[in-house]
Amino acid sequence: MEFELGCVSSGGAQCVELADKHAADFAVTADRFDRDNAFPTDNWAALQRSGFLAATVPVDLGGLGLRSIHDLVVAISRLARGDGSTAIGAAMHLTAFWYLARLRTSPSWPVAAPPARHLDLMLRACARRRAIACVAISERGTPLGNPATTAEPAGSGYRISGRKAFCTNSPAATLFLSTVRLGADEVGFAVVPRTTPGLRVLENWDALGVRASGSGDVVFDGCQVAQEMVVPAGPVGALPPAILPLTMVGALVLASAFLGMSEQAQDLLTQALSRPRSVRPAARALVGENEIDIATSRAVLARTAVLLDERLGAGTPDLPAVELAGLMREVQCANMAAKRAAITTVDRCLTASGGGGYLSSNPMSRLYRDVRAGPFMQPFSALDAFEYIGSVRLGLDRDPGRPNGERELP
């Protein structure tokens, strides 16, 4: 019997059922899209038709009403068993609409947000299969809390200019959620529709792994947006507290995709070793080590998701900096643990498979490359996460959005 992660809510159960069905379908074409370095438009159309992409939209607006972060983790891990590239994009989309839904239903959150009518319009558009979100916050050469992309007052709104990188699922996206600089000292959060003049999605994604994720650059060339679609979030230099719920949940749900990839690799290996009694002892040991790493990843992701559900899921008053830092530390521990375990697990699977797993025709070779995308994904990458975790534990930095830089506690 396989003791995989299960759901705790009815909305989660529906979402996971859909994820399992889609994973079975997407697994058939995943190698082809990887080989062709092509974006799987059909996958995204299928996710829209089934209602999977509207999972985190409230029921009264036409979605599944999924609020549980734990169940989001489960759903994305299942989807990733079929196609990791599609799963990481779906993780970002679902997290974005989870965040928009929480802004609508949790007025106790001290967060500047677009007016309720705009939130409803975006959520309804998602439920009606007209909206896909792309979280566009990464830029080359600058940390997340110090964006070079600007939002300057212009007429009755703002003019946005800049360039974002690693914009996963941008080929399918209709809404771009982006960090921007407001003046010299403030970071803001902008929602930019794809139809905005001056917005360009570049087809320049060509990477070692997750090749079908559509993670190319997005250019904002003087994009004019309404004033309500740009909100101040906090000072330059750190991820603002206003968007920390989005970044915490996003990091954890994204990490679950790498759990799903490692689970798929383990399944492929055990299928290949179809005559257990004839399997060499060394291969059996590798399978056993993988079981330990997969069980550990499941446990740490589930435990951290429950923690976030308790603190963030139903809407909370303003959390003190020390608690936000502690939550982000827990997220980063789970993030790094799951991603490192995924790399090690798939590496063992490739070793135990012999030469067969190394062939391009074997999905194992794709998974071997795909899981290596995990450690550099924000927030935070491995370059920042370990230093951040250590700093918080030592009491040197209580700013939950600042991956480095030490500030001793008073």
Residue 348 domain flag: yes
Residue 4 domain flag: no
- In tens, the pLDDT along 286-315 reads 999 999 999 999 999 999 999 999 988 655
Q: Is 410 exposed, middle or buried (0-12, 13-18, 19+ CB in 10 A)?
A: exposed
Residue with the larger pLDDT of the pair 242 and 253 = 253
pLDDT of 216 strictly over 70: yes
Residue 410 domain flag: no
Q: How confident is the model at residue 2, as a pLDDT? A: 78
- Asked if residue 364 and residue 271 are part of one domain, the reply reads yes
Look-up of token digits 């995204």: 44
Band (pLDDT 50/70/90 cuts) for residue 108 is: low
Residue 407 domain flag: no
Residue 409 domain flag: no
- Asked if residue 388 and residue 271 are part of one domain, the reply reads yes
- Asked if residue 291 and residue 389 are part of one domain, the reply reads yes
Instruction: Single out the residue of 92, 100, 98, 94 nearest to residue 120, CA to CA.
Output: 100
Q: Considering its fold, how many domains does the chain have in total?
A: 3
- Asked if residue 183 and residue 51 are part of one domain, the reply reads no
pTM of the model: 0.94
Average confidence score pLDDT of the chain:
91
Q: How confident is the model at residue 70, as a pLDDT? A: 97
CATH of the domain at 138: 2.40.110.10
Residue 15 domain flag: yes
pLDDT of 400 strictly over 70: no
CATH of the domain at 264: 1.20.140.10
pLDDT of 83 strictly over 70: yes
Average pLDDT over residues 270-280: 81
Residue 104 domain flag: yes
Domain-ending residue, one of 219, 235, 251: 235
Q: How confident is the model at residue 345, as a pLDDT? A: 98
Band (pLDDT 50/70/90 cuts) for residue 113 is: low
Q: How confident is the model at residue 404, as a pLDDT? A: 56
Q: How confident is the model at residue 407, as a pLDDT? A: 44
- Asked if residue 273 and residue 208 are part of one domain, the reply reads no
Band (pLDDT 50/70/90 cuts) for residue 8 is: very high
- Asked if residue 84 and residue 150 are part of one domain, the reply reads no
Residue 14 structural domain = 10-128
- Asked if residue 263 and residue 390 are part of one domain, the reply reads yes
Q: How far apart are CA 264 and CA 275, in angstroms?
A: 19
- Asked if residue 283 and residue 350 are part of one domain, the reply reads yes
- Asked if residue 150 and residue 113 are part of one domain, the reply reads no
Residue 405 domain flag: no
- Asked if residue 104 and residue 192 are part of one domain, the reply reads no
How far separated are the first and last CA of the chain, in Å rounded?
A: 52
Instruction: Single out the residue of 214, 55, 54 nearest to residue 131, CA to CA.
Output: 54
Q: How far apart are CA 84 and CA 89, in angstroms?
A: 9
pLDDT of 111 strictly over 70: no
Q: How confident is the model at residue 263, as a pLDDT? A: 98
Distances (CA, A) of 134 to 90, 172, 314: 9, 8, 24
- Asked if residue 248 and residue 369 are part of one domain, the reply reads yes
Q: How confident is the model at residue 388, as a pLDDT? A: 87
- Asked if residue 124 and residue 140 are part of one domain, the reply reads no
